[in-house]
Structure 1
Amino acid sequence: MNPKVLRAAFSVIIIAALGIAGISPTQQVRADGLLMIEGVYRQPLYSHVDVSIENKIATTVLEQKFYNELEREVSAVYVAPVPDGATILSFAEKVDDKWVEAEIQEKEDAEAAYATAVSEGKDAALAGAMTATPAPNQPATPKMNFQIKVFLPPSSERTIRLIYTEVLLGEVGLTRYTYPLSNTNLTEEPIGDLYIKVQINEKDEIRAVYTPTHKNSAEVSRPQPNTASLVYRAQNVVPNQDFEVIYTQSPDKFGVNLASYVEGEAEDGYFVLIAAPQLETKTDEEVIPKDFVFILDKSGSMQGDKIVQAKNALNMILGNLNPQDRFNIVAFSSLVETYAPQLLPVEKRGEAQAWVNNVFADGGTNINDALVTALKTVDSSQPERPHIIVFLTDGQATEGVTETTAILDNVRAARSAQSRIYSIGVGDVNEALLNAVSSENRGTSLFVSATQPLEQPLADFYAAIDSPVLVDLALDFGEVEVYDVQPNPIPDMFLGGQVVITGRYRRNSPDKTTITLTGAIGGEPYSAIYKDISFNTDSTAAKPYAFVPRLWAQRKVDNLMLKINIEGPDPKLVDEVRELALKYNLITPYTSFVAVPGMGNPGMIEPDSVIYHLSANRHYRNLNTLFIVMGLALIFVGSVGLVINRIAHRRGRASKKGSLDAQAKN
């Protein structure tokens, strides 16, 4: 087809409150771009999102390819959410490997051009916009659904590109970008290939870069102090949450940025505080010397790929230690074996790596004694040296003390203020134990499969513990009364990393306060004062930060689930998780998303609720078809029931007649 001819018919019109293909103007599509073909939402073959943020101006380029599996032509509706206040720069369709840009026309002219093109069998699209109501307890954006009528030939592909720009808020030194990705409320089909890249370029230094929604799967890189990039990729995935990026800026040595939200006149507020250090390059002499102790699980459950992965991870970290670091190794199965009687200098690591390579897996799993032994290797004569334990295991205790609660009690009794525990779980692991032992000891956990490549996840893991810049953190919020602060204790701050803290504050608090950050640098006490930090007390002014309550609720639920996984399903804890999930729209083991035609906004349900679910893969073209199918099913069931009833009735009569004949003979 000639693109010039197509351009005359390929038109776009943006209007307010436009209903297309029976989609209600009050229905909000909070999801990645979807194609509705005859009433059924279909996922793209691929969805590629390229975001460029330049000094808080974000430009989003969304490219998606769809496939019409029907053997006839259809006029479908493409629906994509666009944030409130965003400006649509362009909409294009790929024809013969060339992008054909849409044009703005009067509504009547555009509709006429579209109808003419379709009648002639030409590619065409007609676009519009409609407003939508936010879901309960959700941020006010996105509010607008961009809708496009798209003509698709039979058994054909269609590639669409939508570009829009928006100004991001950053008044409190905290900037947030959201790409509406969740579509579990509309379809269960997976996206074939999902790729999101966010490139941030700011005039001033960027401190923290944080993705609260995909923190374990998005790769973050910081090539320069004022730039950052995030990449997320997944195949055959059904996204269940939006993709969010938060970054902060501050001129202070340790930047502290706080966003707060309050709603109504009586409810207490919510806050999120992000602290991050300056990104400064350190020489070997400036890096804080550390003591590393590796715990290697060599029990029988680690046989095969697990022990190979664990040994590779240990040797990779050992090979990257700084010149002033020291190390030791604790290997365990039923018994515990220490590689050396004392901490060794880095120069000795070659022999240690050879020793590790000769370890084989056999015996039981005495996790308790291994942790206690490693904690006792701390050098208390040098309190300025962080004592970092790297625990490599599948976390399945079988010998000695095996109860998780008892193991945690013994770890608390044996640990010192210098000690931190970081866990690397390999294969099928006891995540509850590893998460608990790490979070209680100011560490984190990394989980890898027994066969996945280790280089990237392990590099990110080690980078997060290699350069501690502030340890033993504490915060004083001045005259503002805070509670339910997560996490507790506050983890250490590392070069290139950040500390994210969420909590609640009393509604009667002052609107400004002084926050004091304290900690230790190289064994010396440190404190920093931040004046005039604002806490919102007015619900109108707080609206841009409506995402904050959900951040707090998710952290709260994560901590409650950690307790449940360790201590068992205490009814009070389960009820608290359920109540939080229902109030803040969170997916938990006790709640799920549900969408019912006519229901409006998707909501949360409890798993034991009775739901009649229709899979999106069943192509009921409209409600009339669905009602016909249900009616036929009811007629069939009724007919079968009637036949069974008649057979039973006849058998009953025959039985009764036989009984009477027998009585007559007698």
Structure 2
Amino acid sequence: MRSLAYAVCLVASSAGALLTPGALQAQGVLVITNENIRLPRPTPRPQPISYSLDEVVVEATLKNQLADVQVSQTFRNSGTGTIQAQFVFPLPYDGAIDAMTLLVNGKELPAKLMKADEARDRYQSIVRSQKDPALLEWVGTGMFQTSVFPIPAGESRTVSIHYSQLLRKDHELTEFLFPLSTAKYTSTSVKKVRVQLAIESDTNIKNIYSPTHDVSIQRPTGKRATVKYEKQNIVPSSDFRLFYDAKPGDVSAKLLTYRPERDEDGYFLLLATPEIKADKDKKQSKTVIFVVDKSGSMAGKKIEQARDAAKFILNNLHEGDLFNIVSYDSKVQSFLPELEVFDKRSRQEALAYVDSLFAGGGTNIHEALTTALSGLQDKSQPSYVLFMTDGRPTSGETKEALIAEAARQANGVRARVMSFGVGYDVNSRLLDRISSDHHGLSEYVRPDQDIEEHVAKVFNRISSPVMTNVKISYEFDKSKPGKPVNRVYPGGDVDLFEGEQLVIVGRYREFGAAKIQLTGTVQEKEETLSFEGKFTKKVGNSSNSFIEKLWATRRIGEIIDELDLKGKNEELVNELVMLSTKHGILTPYTSFLADETVRPELASSSNRRLTTSNLSDLEEAEGRGGFLQRGIKQRFKNANNSASDASESLRTLDEFKSRPASGGTLSGPAPGRSLSRQQPSSPLPPNGGGAGFGSSAQVNSPTSETAPVDYQKIVRKAGTQTVYKRGKLLVTPETASLDLEKEEDKAKVIEIKRYSKEYFELTDANSTAENEVLTLQEEDEELLVKFRGKIYLIK
């Protein structure tokens, strides 16, 4: 699928008018009409800024498959000369655009509409003249090209674009697409990006999902919804995509599939928004126990925030809910000996109890957990334990395995435990183990973050359960032996809450029509919701390729979780390396993929050994290293779109690599430690139990600090493809093992010079996804890539 990608093409009125190409490329592609002037793509070196994009605002109304879109962009010329600017818009959906107008400071500009064949020549002429492949990904689309307008030095221009568009619809899912992916062409950030969509429908709106961005969704009525996305000082890395559907009925569940290879398992995404027909006069009650740490380390601001978190829960329980508060230090106390029915009286008494909580003493996690869980007796309604701690167990039973086992024995009602780790001193592995055993989740609160915000976020989600212990089954018309659907995440039973949407990803072996059933408990009665779906045999285009990446992200989180909690497993290590390499998903254990000093031909053979060595860091159950590792793991496991594993995970990864040394059986790295330089002390041991990878690994750390790694410069992504920078050579996972110094490997390679006749013949034969890979190659780099069974070295 083509995006309505916009490019800003800038021409200079004189050779000296344009000062900083890096800044000017913030919007896309630079075109210079002056002869003998060629502007290189941005380099990591700092450059003075002469031109910036201050703001991008996208506002659209989506109704009956039509989009009315208004785009406003403010450009500022901070240079000393006038810039002559020209806009080029590749048209999406084979030109399904109507009534496009463009205004500069309120004045309409004339423009030319080119069909795909004419536009192809224009695209290629820009690529050829500028020695920049950025526009290659749009070859094959039409083009809307404006006339030239000036931006005087020191002034700003607001460019407004208005157009109507017929949106694509597939399997009753309507898709809205808008280009925000400037990251491939810029080293500067956009000061503000805001997208606001108003969805209107004649029938109830059900599923709303963005595979690319973390959006906020508000539903004032069943037939209206507002979707918002806003960020400041960012370089957007992907186009904005949104799916939604509207239909009458009790359940709207939509199935999207992606199967690039017929002989391999495909990938599926299931979106489900059931409309539960519950008795409105009989709201589903729940049981909530808040377990709050009041040990000595909670003194000061932390105990104040913990009290505020408890008060938030008490102010948001529903009348008729059962609740209790368990507080602990060296000893354990409860608000009441037994669960209490929530009403105005019990609320006031509980608030007074919370005000009496003060910090002091040790940390008796064992007794606090067993006290809370053993107090739950009613299996007929959903039960949730919100367990908070800021430290490791120091009183009572302190052994991790025994604490976890005692908690399992005490939980007789299948209560879900939501764990909150506050600060770096927690035993994060213990919290993850408890959350996993009790079908909950772990939330980690940094020292500078507010405890109440994290507790409120989780509590708001679970406050109104509508269908609990939900199981999902898949019945195919023609089923073969074995599981037709496998490796589904999240796995196991789930609870569905009011206003929540299920986002399920998995792999499928069978293809064809299938009945998908959601079975769960609604107000103590079992209910089943059914719908039909179709699993495709093979998908020829890559428009749904994001499903594979989302599945891989969650799968990586599950693999790390299993290695963390169950111990060594060679098959899982191999799969972790394969998925990380294929998709460019960096983890603390595969960050060596961003080490461009590793020779490509050696990387494949050493990846597993390096990963095995790095996985020894999971021995850090406590401290900052353990906190950061398990925070990254949880983000992978709970990812809902491609934005979930990007910037925040990379920042945490960089923080993890530069953390100070820690004690224990495995020394933590010195500041600036390069994970890629770890040397495993021995081959991977046989599969066995236990948590972690033993203490025999030796870590070789540099003594001096190293510069931060520019991950996105070394690991580059385009669609479903990943490219790794190794010096001046770019390689893909398919070509990384080739050694160009060996004659047998060199003989397999076809050499092509960039921007030659052969180069453009190759681009004509390529798919959009293949041409996107070519856009990742910068000046003075060589690209080793495999297209349609042939290996090319593009120089």
TM-score, structure 2 normalization: 0.60
The code of the aligned residue for 1:372 comes to T
Partners of 1:425 and 1:436 in 2: CA distance: 12
| Structure 1 residue 320 corresponds to structure 2 residue 316 | yes
Equivalence for 1:64: 73
Q: Does 1:356 align with 2:354?
A: yes
Residue correspondence of structure 1 range 57-96 to structure 2 within 5 A? 57-76=66-85, 83-85=92-94, 86-87=96-97, 89-95=99-105
1:478 aligns with 475
Shift of 1:271: 0.7
Contact (CA 8 Å) 1:300, 1:362: kept in 2 or not? yes
Corresponding residue for residue 384 of structure 1: 380
Separation of aligned partners in 2, 1:15 and 1:320: 45
Q: Quick one: structure 1 residues 557 and 160, their matched pair in 2 at CA, closer, same or farther if it must change by over 3 Å?
A: farther
Instruction: Using the TM superposition, name which of 158-167 and 382-391 deviates more.
Output: 158-167
Tell me how far 1:224 sits from its aligned partner: 0.8
Aligned to 2:60: 51
Q: Deviations over 1:4-25 (max 9, x none)?
A: xxxxxxxxxx999999879xxx
Once the 2 structures are TM-superposed, how far is the Cα of residue 394 of structure 1 from its aligned partner? 4.3
What is the deviation of 1:455?
A: 8.8
Residues 534 and 298 of structure 1: is their aligned pair in 2 closer, same or farther, counting only changes over 3 Å? Answer: same
How many Å separate the matches in 2 of 1:395 and 1:610?
44
CA shift for structure 1 position 312 = 1.4
Counterparts of 1:238 and 1:429 in 2: how far apart (Å)? 34
In 2 relative to 1, CA 378–19 (structure 1 residues): closer, same or farther, beyond 3 Å? same
Q: Secondary structure of the residue that 1:478 maps to in structure 2?
A: strand
Q: Counterparts of 2:728 and 2:293 in 1: how far apart (Å)?
A: 45
- Name the residue aligned to 1:537: 537
Offset of residue 277 of structure 1: 2.0
**Structure 1, 442-451 or 237-246: larger mean CA deviation:** 442-451
* In 1, Cα distance between equivalents of 2:155 and 2:252: 52
What SS class does the counterpart of residue 552 from structure 1 fall into? helix
Alpha carbons 2:26, 2:53 under 8 Å: kept: no
Are the equivalent residues in 1 in contact too, given 2:6–2:28 (CA < 8 A)?
A: no
Measured after TM superposition, the shift of residue 404 of structure 1 is: 6.4
Deviations 1:161-218 (A, max 9, x none): 3344444444434344344434443334232222222222222212233344444xx3
Cα deviation, residue 439, structure 1: 5.7
Partner of 2:338: 342
Distance of 1:62 and 1:577 partners within structure 2: 41
Question: Is 2:203–2:246's contact at 8 Å kept on the other side of the alignment?
Answer: yes
Contact 2:270-2:504 at 8 Å conserved across structures: yes
Deviation at 1:357, TM superposition (A): 1.9
Alignment partner of 1:133 is 2:129: no
Gaps of 5+ in 1: 1-13, 23-30, 108-129, 135-140, 614-625, 628-666
User: 1:497 deviation in Å?
Assistant: 0.8
**CA 1:365–1:482 in structure 2 vs 1: closer, same or farther (change >3 Å)?**
same
Distance 1:398 1:77 in 2: 67
CA distance in 1, matches of 2:563, 2:69: 40
Query: Relative contact order: is structure 1 or structure 2 higher (C-alpha 8 Å, sep ≥ 6)?
Result: 1
Q: Is residue 394–residue 429 contact of structure 1 (8 Å, CA) maintained in 2?
A: yes
Distance across 2 between alignment mates of 1:171 and 1:330: 51
Superposed displacement of residue 227, structure 1: 1.9
Superposition deviation, residue 354 in structure 1:
1.6
2:480 is equivalent to residue 467 of structure 1: no
> Which residue in the other structure is 1:298 paired with?
294
For residue 527 of structure 2, what is the amino acid of its counterpart?
Answer: Y
User: Could you say which residue in structure 2 is the equivalent of 1:488?
Assistant: 491
Please point out which of 359, 372, 375 is paired with 2:373.
375
- 1:20-419 counterparts in 2 under 5 A? 33-34=27-28, 36=30, 39=40, 44-76=53-85, 83-85=92-94, 86-87=96-97, 89-95=99-105, 99-105=106-112, 132-133=136-137, 151-215=150-214, 218-278=215-275, 283=280, 285-347=281-343, 348-379=346-377, 382-394=378-390, 408=404, 410-419=406-415
Q: Deviations over 1:205-242 (max 9, x none)?
A: 12233344444xx3221111122222222222344454
Shift of 1:52: 2.4
Q: CA–CA distance in 2 between the matches of 1:383 and 1:597?
A: 49
- Is contact 1:170–1:176 with CA below 8 Å preserved after alignment? yes
Q: Which residue identity lines up with residue 361 of structure 1 in the other structure?
A: A
Q: Could you tell me which amino acid in structure 2 is paired with residue 513 of structure 1?
A: A
Quickly say closer, same or farther: Cα 1:303–1:603, change in 2 above 3 A.
farther
Post-superposition offset of 1:287: 1.0
Does the 8 A contact of 2:549 with 2:583 survive in 1? yes
Q: In structure 2, do the counterparts of structure 1 residues 597 and 572 end up closer, same or farther at CA, with 3 Å as the change threshold? A: closer
Q: What is the DSSP-based 3-state SS (H/G/I as helix, E as strand, rest coil) of the residue aligned with 2:309?
A: helix
Percentage of pairs with the same residue: 29
Residue in 1 aligned with 2:416? 420
The SS at the match of 1:355 is helix
> Match for residue 660 of structure 1?
none
Which secondary structure state, in structure 1, belongs to the residue aligned with residue 475 of structure 2?
coil
Gaps spanning 5+ residues in structure 2: where?
13-24, 32-38, 43-50, 115-133, 595-710, 731-778, 781-795
Contact kept in structure 2, 1:474 and 1:518, CA below 8 Å? yes
Q: Deviation string for 1:573-613 (max 9, x for gaps)?
A: 55533422433354545356655899998964669x55799
Of stretches 159-168 and 511-520 in structure 1, the one that deviates more from structure 2 is: 159-168
After TM superposition, give the deviation of residue 247 of structure 1 in Å: 3.2
TM (norm. structure 1) is 0.71
Q: Spell out, residue by residue over 1:396-428, the C-alpha distance to the aligned partner (whole angstroms, 9 max, x if none).
A: 555566676765555444434441223455566
Name the SS of the counterpart of 2:555 in structure 1. helix
RMSD value, Cα: 4.3
Find the aligned partners of 1:406 and 1:83 in 2 and give their Cα distance.
Answer: 59
Q: How does 1:511-522 map to 2 (within 5 A)?
A: 511-522=512-523
CA contact (8 A) 1:35 1:78 kept: no
Kept in 2: contact 1:56–1:168 (CA 8 A): yes
Relative to structure 1, the CA distance from residue 46 to residue 279 in structure 2 (aligned partners, 3 Å threshold; closer, same or farther) is farther
* Cα distance between partner residues in 2 of 1:251 and 1:43: 47
- The equivalent of 1:6 in structure 2 is none
Single out whichever of 308-317 and 367-376 deviates more from structure 2.
367-376
Partner deviation per Cα, 1:99-148 (whole Å, 9 max, x = no partner)? 222223589xxxxxxxxxxxxxxxxxxxxxx96438xxxxxx99778776
Q: What is the alpha-carbon distance in structure 1 between the residues aligned to residue 444 and residue 717 of structure 2?
A: 39
In structure 1, give the amino acid aligned to 2:289. Answer: V
Moved more, 65-74 or 592-601: 592-601
SS at the partner of 2:306?
helix
Question: Are the structure 2 counterparts of residues 207 and 238 from structure 1 closer, same or farther at C-alpha, using a change threshold of 3 Å?
Answer: same
The 1:438/1:200 distance shift into structure 2, 3 A limit, reads farther
Q: State the SS of the aligned residue for 1:323.
A: coil
Q: What secondary structure is seen at the aligned counterpart in 1 of 2:283?
A: coil
Does structure 1 retain, via aligned residues, the 8 Å contact 2:100–2:161? yes
Return the offset for 1:567.
Answer: 6.8
Deviations 1:357-412 (A, max 9, x none): 22123344444443333222212xx3221111123444655556667676555544
SS, match of residue 151 in structure 1: strand
| More off after superposition, 81-90 vs 567-576 | 567-576
Using the alignment, how far apart are the partners of 1:171 and 1:580 within structure 2?
A: 29
Q: Secondary structure at the match of 2:352?
A: helix
CA distance in 2, matches of 1:498, 1:68: 44
Distance 2:135 2:573 in 1: 37
For 1:432 and 1:36, how far apart are their aligned partners in 2? Answer: 50
**Structure 1 residues 187 and 207, CA, compared in 2 at 3 Å: closer, same or farther?**
same
Paired position in structure 2 for 1:503: 506
> Against the structure 1 CA distance between its residues 401 and 189, is the aligned structure 2 distance closer, same or farther, given a 3 Å change threshold?
farther
Q: Is the 8 A contact 2:6 2:89 kept in 1?
A: no
The residue aligned with 1:649 is: none
**CA distance in 2 between partners of 1:438 and 1:144 (Å):** 52
Report the structure number with the largest CA radius of gyration.
Answer: 1
> Within 1, Cα distance between the matches of 2:396 and 2:88?
58
1:548 equivalenced with 2:547 (yes/no): yes
The one-letter amino acid of 2:500's match is G
